Amino acid sequence: MLSFPDAELAARDPALPGLSIVLDPDAFAEQLNAKMDGLEVDKVRARYVRYKPYTSCLVAFDVVAGGNARHLFATAFTRDGLMKYRKHQNRLRQAGLMDKNDLWRDEQIVICRFPADRALPQLPNLADGQRRTELLASLLPQAGAQWGSALETLHYKPEQRYVAKLSSATGEVAVIKAYADETFKQASAAVKHVRSSGALRVPARLGRSRRHRILLLEWLPGHSLANLGRNPDCDGSSIATVGAALAELHMQDVKLAETVDSEALIASLFANARTVAHLHPPCASRALQVSRDLDETIRKQPKQRSLIHGDFSADQVLVAGDTAAFIDLDSSGLGDPRIDLGSFLAVLNLEAALGRTDDATVDSINSNLRDGYHQVREIGRAPELWPYVAASLLLRVAEPFRYRMPDWPAATAAIIERAEVIARERRF
């Protein structure tokens, strides 16, 4: 059943008549059973939403049908958007990846079943065992054939990126990543130029295909720091190691493109405030006010520029002994290093805002992260990180909606309140 907040949102966007269906797993499952020949759906779970008001709404689903799990995503379009999608639909049909039942004209919804993906045309080559073996042989002429045995999906963000664990016939493992056109170049440059040093470990590039926009990367060992505030593996020593590894990254003299500087951060804040205004109007003025306050503060900060991760968070870190592996360098480039530190702490504060961890844990991790960082690179014993923590937290305000939390409006308000407190108290 469509929740009341989702129903209100759908009513605010009549240009997308399919919005109320793709946001309601029960209604979506009912439509799947009615419209898709031979597909008997047992269970549907929405795991990710990418919503552009008055334009489109893509929802990634995990679907269990006939006892088998599969990836599927649905996109609700405006009428004009649906017409523009026609050329992609025709290409996917010609490749045997779509059929007439995948277009719901009345609802203005398009269904894509993995590996059908207009922005990731290389996926069918990875999904098919024989074609995957041939592709890997071209990537690794000396040993590619042995890598075609098994593929395990790790992360799939439709129309953006696909990540999988690849196992060889001899038991070796690697990571294979497939990218949309606009992100491959930056990711490829990062894994080519960024190097392991000191406490930092980064995956070596084993192979690359420009044509298919695919990277084959080393599999790095370690325990994940995901769910940082409630992860028993996240002791003080591990967090200090992460800080040291981040400092090692920031000190590398690598020529990459500009990524997120202070100006870009500020622009993102105001774009984010507009998103809040549409998603949850009662919080619009608060999101805008804290964005204005942070704009004024960040503009006054002295400029800093180095190699940065660009999207740094605990779930992208594996700790093994006295080293930390950064497993995702896709957003790496030149920018303000305080943005990385702020991003890491922002995710922790999001956990606190949602009641998943407490202030004592937040403060302890903050202290250990800084200590580890300062052992390698000094940026002032008490640099003012709070504007970057608050800004990065505010940029995650749509995550409760995006990842389909049951009471996402309340979670949205809690995140904004936490950002306000950080800005008011100048924590961090």
| pLDDT recorded at residue 144 | 52
What was the pLDDT predicted at 49? 97
d(CA 404, CA 1): 14
Q: Residue 314 in contact with residue 286, Cβ under 8 Å?
A: no
Residue 360 has pLDDT above 60, yes or no: yes
Q: Please give the residue that has the higher pLDDT: either 260 or 323.
A: 323
**Cα 242 to Cα 246: distance, rounded to the nearest angstrom:** 6
Which structure tokens are listed for 394?
A: 């505010």
CA–CA gap between residue 415 and residue 202 (Å, rounded): 32
**pTM as predicted:** 0.92
The pLDDT of residue 328 is 92
Of all residues in the chain, the percent with pLDDT exceeding 90 is 67
Order of strands across the sheet that contains 56-65 = 41-52, 56-65, 68-77, 109-113, 103-104
Query: Structure tokens of 212?
Result: 């298919």
Q: Rounded to an integer, what distance in angstroms lies between the CA atom of residue 193 and that of residue 141?
A: 23
Q: Is 355 helix (H, G, I), strand (E, B) or coil?
A: coil
C-beta of residue 286 within 8 angstroms of C-beta of residue 421: no
Residue type, 367: S
